[in-house]
Amino acid sequence: MEYIPGSNFLQSIVSDDLSSGRIKEVVTRFPPEPNGHLHIGHAKAISVNFGLAEANEGRCNLRFDDTNPEKESQEYIEAIQADVRWLGYSWNGEVRYASSYFQQFYDWAIVLVTQGNAYVCDLGADEAREYRGTLTESGRNSPSRERSVSENLDLLARMKAGEFDDGAKVLRAKIDMSSPNINMRDPILYRIRSTPHHQTGTDWVIYPTYDFAHGQEDAIEGITHSICTLEFEDHRPLYNWLIEHLPVPSEPKQYEFGRLNPSFTVTSKRKLKQLVDEGVVMGWDDPRMPTVSGMRRRGYTPAAIRKFCDMIGTTRSDGVVDIAMLEFAIREDLNENAMRGMCVLRPLKVVLTDYPSDNIENLHAPAHPSRDDLGERLLPFTRELYIDADDFREEANKKFKRLVLGKRVRLRNAYVIEADEVLKDARGNVCEVHAHIIADTLGENPADGIKPKGVIQWVSASHGKNAQVRLYERLFSHESPDKGDNAFMDHINPESLEVVMEAWIEPSLAEASPEQRYQFEREGYFVADRYDHCSDKPVFNRTIGLRDTWNNR
């Protein structure tokens, strides 16, 4: 699988605008609403907005569209900033907020009312939907539409003063109730919300809608290219109408690109929040979540996520992207950069009967097979070892390339051994294997010419460390868990997490720093948990297997 960079229609637009002199500098913005954690779709939007600015020596603002205090919080604001930084991007200047412009928005609302282009409407939510019409039927004018300018100004001031209950009145633009574009049928500009705001406290009880605030924020900040996903294409006429009817300091232009829709994934914030609220996952940063914080905790790297966003390209069409592309990107990154280590997930004791019980041999192995700069790691070798139970059979056919009674196998980076006998528990299960070392096989093949059947991992039983290992899989078992009639909660993968409490690891792995990534040889790629891992109680999360086995299920 080879990645070949493709064309980017947004870059073509930017290049034309620069060469024609329409703009002197590229200024973009990433404008998340702080009502949840960022997910992989936001990572794509971040890469587009910050990437365009970086590629053209421009600037990108981070601005929170915080116009709905009922669903927003400071926790989300801080988490979003951390995610953007972790992905490797730096925003221009200070963090910006829509709430910083509330007074300006209100002043411009007065301008629209004074022009006769906005009015205070008394219709309730159900009545407003009825008056709005449908995609095939024109809307009807509100009974409030012909109020005088003076009456509208008075009512708007009283809305601001808190005289009316939530939902009692709204401010609407006066455009065209017969427009084929429903977004132009007298859209709401302000609504009453007697909810304290995380930035402005109780200063305001009316808040602008996203549609009213968005373009004006861009204009205030001098944004040259307002990049949105395709669902906002039908909102662009309203964006332009407001820019044309207000005395804004600049005239930004909106462009849309296809949003990222990965397979086997849900990216709706509402649905992700439901997963958290109902305890399906352990939080927004659960490693099974498609959030940036979840992928970070699972062991994904910023480089892999950015590479994935480049691989899928930026186009004018929506479509489903195979999640295997993201998994390819992280495998490729970790294969090149993750240090190696050995972990036994299901330990079976092996006693080397011809090895002295008090002997400890410190063997050495490369930290990475092709990265000398990463150095070596120390492997204590002792009489009693653990191998994985799946790597032993009392009897097996020739296809089984591991340890079998009477047969040989090489312990990775150590000796060739031969299994002699087994001990079993009361139920007949093998609980211990006795074996002997084939002499002079450290780094050499047996002198008698009988080669081992395979290579297996191992850990010293006395010097290895017990670890908790969390084996993560895809959270959903359906390719399109929330499309069509699919009820996404019905497609939760019951095998998305297996916790192994009695795994054994090389002793050096216990000293890993949180978020340090490894390839556990023959097992997959793992990361030391950023919160729970410590040297006394090591905890590792599986990032991804060594190869894609999902399609073989």
Q: What pLDDT, in 10s, does the model give residues 291-342?
A: 999 999 999 999 999 999 999 999 998 889 999 999 999 999 999 999 999 9
pLDDT in tens, 340-379: 999 999 999 999 999 999 999 999 999 999 999 999 999 9
Query: What interhelical angle do 149-160 and 102-115 show, nearest 10?
Result: 160
Q: Average pLDDT for residues 52-64, to the nearest whole number? A: 97
For 134, residues 6+ apart whose C-beta sits below 8 A from its C-beta are none
Contact 89, 29 (CB under 8 A): no
pLDDT of 3 reads 33
Q: How far is CA 60 from CA 95, 104, 257, 319, in A?
A: 11, 22, 17, 27
Residue 550: the pLDDT is 59
Tell me what pLDDT residue 483 has.
80
Q: Which fold has domain 9-262?
A: Rossmann fold (3.40.50)
List phi, psi (to 5°) of 523.
-115, -40
In the predicted structure, residue 551 carries a pLDDT above the cut 70: no
For 372-410, how does the pLDDT look when each residue is reduced to its tens digit (9 = 90+)?
A: 999 999 999 999 999 999 999 999 998 999 999 999 999
* Residue 501: band (very low, low, confident or very high) from pLDDT cuts 50, 70, 90: very high
Cα torsion through 97, 99, 104, 105, rounded to 10: 110
Question: pLDDT (tens digit, 9 = 90+) per residue, 257-299?
Answer: 999 999 999 999 999 999 999 999 999 999 999 999 999 999 9
Distance CA 513, CA 395 (A): 41
- Kindly compute the dihedral angle of the four CA atoms of residues 392, 339, 1, 320, in this order, to the nearest 10 degrees: 90
At residue 178's C-alpha, the angle toward residues 172 and 181, to 5°, is 80
**269-337+467-552 is classed in which CATH architecture?**
Beta Barrel (2.40)
Question: Would you state the pLDDT for residue 351?
Answer: 98
| Least confident piece of the model among 109-123, 129-143, 472-486 | 472-486
Residues above pLDDT 90, as percent of the chain? 95
Q: Which residues pair with 260 in a beta bridge?
A: 319
Delimit the CATH 3.40.50.620 region(s) of the chain. Answer: 9-262
For residue 513, the 8-state DSSP code is P
CATH superfamily of the domain spanning 341-463: Ribosomal Protein L25; Chain P (2.40.240.10)
pLDDT reported for residue 319: 84
Look at residue 1 in the predicted model and tell me its pLDDT: 32
Strands 384-388 and 347-352, sheet pairing: antiparallel
The Cα 500–Cα 343 span in angstroms is 11
- The average pLDDT across 46-59 equals 96
Phi and psi dihedrals of 240, rounded to 5?
-70, -40
What are the structure tokens assigned to 510, written together? Answer: 């216990």
For 64, residues 6+ apart whose C-beta sits below 8 A from its C-beta are: 31, 32, 33, 34, 77, 80, 95, 96, 97, 98, 99
CA distance 488 to 496: 15
Amino acid at 395: E
Q: What is the pLDDT of residue 486?
A: 67
Q: Which residues are catalytic?
A: 33, 259, 269
CB 101, CB 217: distance < 8 Å: yes
Return residue ranges of the chain for CATH 2.40.240.10: 269-337+467-552, 341-463
Residues in the chain: 553
Chain centroid to CA 210: how far?
24
Is the pLDDT assigned to residue 2 strictly greater than 60? no
Kindly state the greatest CA–CA separation across the chain: 104
